[in-house]
Chain A
């Protein structure tokens, strides 16, 4: 195999001119608003999702800011306890359902999946667009409920809070989430069929980039888990409207059943959030250390193993809910076992980095941050899956810190890395590298400053979801709020320089990172409307680096 950079254009003569200076690409071949809103192009749909989710992220972040501002002082002086409850519910619902769950699959996944497997589009382009509209309709319902009246149950909607003691906005929110669920199901269905049926000739299962494996595992969870939460929310609505005691013990129902059904989806949902960023990180680590991923098949298998394990550990959220001790022991043990595939991933990354020509480009800075934060998040999960310690930590800030390390430190940081990696492919432009590195560092520092103190304050016993707290917790809370401010600045920078770069950034060229997957070697930046003018035929492994590609690797002496 010759060098990618010289071979790729030679092999793809038909696609030499477009995209490079005035050619036809998917962004400029049609530019009307209607052409965006009615597009069936997976790349444009990915960007529609990106825009919508960025807006939701800003809104969810705004509520996070309110919470942190309230918690600077021990007294509840900024807002009423009721408004505080509504704020953390809004923060949780928006961030979990409208940002984290669709974040990587719907934006980066939509954009990259067909490019990575040599397809012209996903299997069902129209369904893909429909799922974006379903997302927007679900978001509309939910936002009206959250902003209009507010919901105070927390994002978990536990019964009887959501049935017996509720204000009616819970039903509107549940309707929104019910609708939203179909967006997730349709995306998962589309991706599974795409991966099974749309791979180009020669693209065996074990020649697929690892991001594709991660998307596959995620889609399986979306397909199997989401219908259960949909029917659960419908049951909450029915209990409320018809007065049937499905979850209300006074009417013969069982509130624990709600928790079982809720977590049967919502624990796997954690892996819907984290698996795709894990997959993106593979691409980053491999590309920026110029080495194939150590143990490709182990990594692919670990993604599937996590997807399977995710369905049999849900009751670890219910150790204090009156679960039988034998069931609790069983679920504790199963939960520990999730650490095995997660550990495999971390160690294969370390082994990949070892003796690689590693670089410090901004996407890779995010990837380094991701490894560290995901590891801390995962390890503290073990404290919570241990029965004895969970009794102490349950519903404290320790839990809050743990899942923010996984969801923000893991999922969001991984997403940011993936976004900075894919950006030149998306828009054909480079962003200001210095600002990007600044933002990666600010996010890492700000994040740790925000959430590490929460481990401590949780260990000391501060419960979550209260807007007042004893004086002795104030120092740690002030640290946390200060960190959140730094974190906010870190997120603000990309919101400014990324859109700027679309118009004023330096031209990227087809493969600025020297990556070796089809999306970089065989499509323009930005790609042409149908991605590949000629169907590629794959004959080898996904990660095979030309060590002469750039000066860093040349200097490393390979």
Chain B
């Protein structure tokens, strides 16, 4: 019974002493709060960034091999009947589709810049993508309204088009564009569907350009042929590109890795010049993942260093506190406190301080990423681990740094502690 009174009294004494030494207590708690929240925020932001970049790459499709036509340097180009001819051909794509194992489907895109007109005063610069029904699947395109181009459209060479959401807004204003007419080089196309934005890399267009009109490939060949007119320095230049982008969708990731190597070899042999570029999102995803891993180790190291530095600060304050109170320890010892009574008193102080500071640090550590996400629109991810780890480290550092000087002070003979000034 007496022992219980004594324990509760010593715990109360520990908490009470913190109130007596307010400034020092505040400083120590502040050190812990800063250590904990900065580590939590740092981890949350770095994990958010890593997640974001992987998501954007994943949208390209980790099961795709993307081969784009690229214009080679002017002088290396062979002029053919007054037009520049370069890039992938349908024959190239067919050979790859038939000879590379594990191809689920091959989709071709022919992309041309054009002016679109839908009534009103303005024309709009757009990218026309002539493609086939499989495109929606490999591009992971989501329909906002209507439907995508189907095989019947292809067969009939129908004058229909699918537009991206952002273009629909610009060209048709509010209201639904479904069933309305868009004129491309004077020819009318009826809108049958609206798509979300498409990743630029996939479409062979400028990165993240949002203004696309998608039409059946067969319709384009009938209406426009595969000649592209490019305005360069005042004079008109004709370019002939059969396939702007080919997308090979593979059965699995192993097929992606093997297929990419085979495709490289095939094109190296068949093309006279390097007028193509192979993009493998999977490889980029893996590479980005490795980079992010290295980054997160670096951030981890910084976080640990700042915790250690914070810990040394805490230890310093604790040491100074105990040293300053050596005489008090001497008085208590002279009046009958045992060594463990002293250690328990200081341990309770350290524990109360570090736990309170750690909890406050977690609170701030939750608020800061939330604020960052809402003001800077920066994705952050807070997990239980990133909350608990800094807390545990800070509390452990606080306890050790409180325990060490307390044990040192308790070890002193009462007479030495009393003589301390």
A binds B: no
Which A residues lie at the B interface, using CB under 8 A? none
